């Protein structure tokens, strides 16, 4: 893009602020939607960026995007936090004998996947993004999209095809749960 990842890796402090401005919301969303406690979520956001900055030299742009890397760090911090609170809950339960069910928020992996797909969607060329949003959010058929937008059906289909291919590629690179690959399939990870 604009070299943000490279500048971040090189230790340019402006890049840290830029990365935070762009992706702080996504990291906070990951933490806030998976942790019960708001201050825990903010704390995870903070420690994610601190850890990323201190480990910036280990970020390899060839292996994925900066936001994917940040979300991966955030995901680990969230999981650590969930484990810690599960331990606390067990201790409390042992003492009080009150088996209060732990809050089951959405799975961190799914939240990461969603954020990665959302990020890629936002980066698609406008036409592709617009068509996919109509298909995803408004549940329109390709024919309906062609009618609504006045774009020929064949063009709608090709935008959607290319957009979907980009989303899938990005998800396979940066997502937390790459799709279930049958064992023995040569492309399995």
Partner 1 sequence: MPHLDHDRLVFLALGESEADAGESTHLDTCAHCRAEFDAFRQVAGLGADTQSLRELPDPPEHVWQGIVAEIRAAEALPTLPAPRAEQPRTEQPTAEQPSAGGAGGAGGVVLTPRRRGRWSRWAVTATTAAAAAVLGVVGTLVVLDATEPAPRPPAQRVVLASAPLRAYGSTPPDANGEARVFDNRRLHLHVVNLPDVPGYYEVWLINPRTMEMFSVGVLGDAADELLPLPPNVDLEAYSVVDVSAETYDNNTAHSGESLLRGTLTG
Radius of gyration of the chain (CA): 20
User: Does 99 participate in binding partner 1 (rule CB under 8 A)?
Assistant: no
User: Does 85 participate in binding partner 1 (rule CB under 8 A)?
Assistant: no
Looking at residues 27 to 46 of the shown chain, list those that interact with partner 1 (rule: CB under 8 A). 27-29, 38-39, 42-43, 45-46
- Closest distance of CB 53 from partner 1, Å: 6
* Of the candidate residues 73, 78, 160, 176, the single one contacting partner 1 (CB under 8 A): 160
Pair of tokens at residue 175: 């997502």
User: Does 165 participate in binding partner 1 (rule CB under 8 A)?
Assistant: yes
Q: Which of 68, 79, 10, 71 is nearest to 40 (CA)?
A: 79
At residue 101, the 3 state secondary structure works out as coil
Q: How far is CA 158 from CA 27, 77, 117, in A?
A: 33, 40, 19
- Closest distance of CB 160 from partner 1, Å: 7
Query: From CA 48, how far away is CA 13, in angstroms rounded?
Result: 16
User: Is-contact 113 171, C-beta < 8 A?
Assistant: yes
Q: Which residues are near partner 1 by CB under 8 A?
A: 13-14, 16-17, 20-21, 24-29, 38-39, 42-43, 45-47, 49-50, 53-54, 113-115, 117-118, 121-122, 132, 135-137, 141-142, 157, 160-161, 164-165, 167-168, 171-172, 179-182, 184-185, 187
């Amino acid at each position: 893009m604009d070299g943000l990842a490279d500048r971040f890796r090189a230790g340019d402090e402006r890049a840290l602020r830029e990365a935070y401005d762009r992706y702080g919301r996504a990291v906070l969303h990951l933490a806030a939607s998976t942790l019960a406690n708001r201050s825990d979520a903010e704390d995870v956001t903070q420690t994610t960026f601190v850890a990323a900055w201190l480990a910036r030299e280990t970020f390899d742009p060839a292996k994925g995007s900066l936001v994917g890397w940040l979300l991966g760090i955030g995901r680990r911090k969230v999981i650590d936090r969930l484990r810690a609170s599960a331990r606390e809950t067990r201790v409390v339960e042992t003492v009080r004998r009150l088996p209060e069910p732990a809050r089951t928020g959405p799975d961190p992996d799914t939240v990461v996947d969603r954020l990665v797909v959302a990020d890629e969607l936002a980066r698609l060329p406008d036409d592709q993004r617009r068509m996919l949003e109509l298909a995803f959010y408004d549940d329109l058929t390709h024919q309906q999209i062609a009618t609504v937008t006045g774009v020929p059906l064949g063009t709608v289909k090709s935008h959607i095809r290319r957009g979907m291919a980009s989303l899938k590629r990005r998800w396979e690179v940066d997502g937390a749960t790459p799709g279930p690959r049958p064992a023995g399939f040569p492309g399995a990870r």
